[in-house]
Amino acid sequence: MVALLSLFRKQRMWSPEEIRPRYDVVIVGGGVHGLAIAYELAKLGVTDVAVLEKSYIGAGGSGRNTAIIRSNYRTEPGVEFYDESLKIYEQLAVELDYNLLFSQHGHLTFAHTEAGIVGLRVRAETNQVLGVNSRIIDLKEIAELVPALDLSDRPRHPIMAALYHPPGGTIRHDAVVWGYARAASRRGVAIHTGVEVTGVNVADGAVTGVETNRGTIHAGVVVNATAGWATTIAAMAGVRLPIVTHPLQAMVTEPLKPILNPVLVSATLHVYVNQTDRGELVIGSEIDPYSSYSHRSTLPFLESTVRHALELLPAAANARVLRQWAGICDMTPDFGPIIGTVPEVRGFVVDVGWGTYGFKAAPAAGRRTAELIATGRTPDVIAPFTIERFANNQPLGEKAAAAVSH
């Protein structure tokens, strides 16, 4: 047994190798999206692929999120896409042969006004028509699900109803990143960390490769799968993206006895709360209202978010905050992502603009972007997310289901 454990510890998650001067596909960004695309490409037989990450695997948004999974969106394209992603997540641990600590313990979005109830009803009906398990529940059922909630009329914004989405839950973000990286490497994908892309080479309207701090790498396809720096990488190829980058903060408390099973969300209070298996309360809010690349946490966020969280869960008043962190998010005008090719440069593919909900989208985005690259055809499920929708005045309008940053 000791010898077996020693052998297991010596096994590498992914195999390092020298950077080659040419690959069929270069993916910029070693987060969950870039790794998912690489893995899905390898499944389709495209194995001459390099993932370039300037830091370590999962260093960006993939490691700076609260890992909530759901598909109860409002628009038809959004619901269908995120539901596909959720269904992939349900089987992903088996597929990757790696424990992802996925837990589907439900998701509650609260309404505090009559207008809020109407909005949730529209979402519930849209979800149900598209086959997603989502329904409106009253205070009695809410109390049964979360006894610790303050459901009285004492709070400034009393809870009146909720949208209940049983398939929602959480997953361990680091495990997802490592699982994808290991599986992609075992299928022949080259994963290079510490490699920063400094330029994207274009000739005669087509991408030819990238410049890096380790030299030139030639490729017929370059994928921009970055978060936070999506506009920077796109600009290197002469492509302008309608994206603005904002910080997003979250915090975690000391471990507590179990008081919470579903994820709690209030758009009115701009707060969401879930409890981990270790007992910590993970608490987040909306994106910061200014554009920045800062990863620094702030006192105003801590004060306002804790105040709002305690309106929902006053029993947590004495819990100590252990740490607080920030990430950066790429926001588009309609709160939807941008996936696919771009008209300006052939061979340049983008999987960007995920705002605050990119982690839950990664499995479907990876699978469908890989399909696009391998076949040259845009899958129907990602067709609504093309960059041309802005020029064609066809925005998605997904803010109603993404008003709180999780």
Q: Exposed, middle or buried by CB within 10 Å (0-12, 13-18, 19+), for 172?
A: middle
Residues of the chain short of pLDDT 50, as ranges, are 4-5, 7-8
| pLDDT tens-digit series, residues 134-145 | 999 999 999 999
Give the 3-state secondary structure of residue 282: strand
| pLDDT tens-digit series, residues 308-353 | 999 999 999 999 999 999 999 999 999 999 999 999 999 999 999 9
- Give the pLDDT confidence score for residue 15 in this predicted structure: 81
Taking Cα atoms as reference points, which of 245, 217, 239, 178 lies closest to residue 27? 217
- Give the pLDDT confidence score for residue 14 in this predicted structure: 84
Q: What is the reported pTM? A: 0.95
Taking Cα atoms as reference points, which of 30, 33, 16, 52 lies closest to residue 217? 52
Which structure tokens are listed for 168? Answer: 């929602």
Cα–Cα distance, 25 to 366 (Å, whole number): 14
Cα–Cα distance, 2 to 266 (Å, whole number): 50
Q: Which residue has the tokens 């994928």?
A: 223
Q: Which residue has the tokens 């209070």?
A: 269
- Give the pLDDT confidence score for residue 402 in this predicted structure: 67
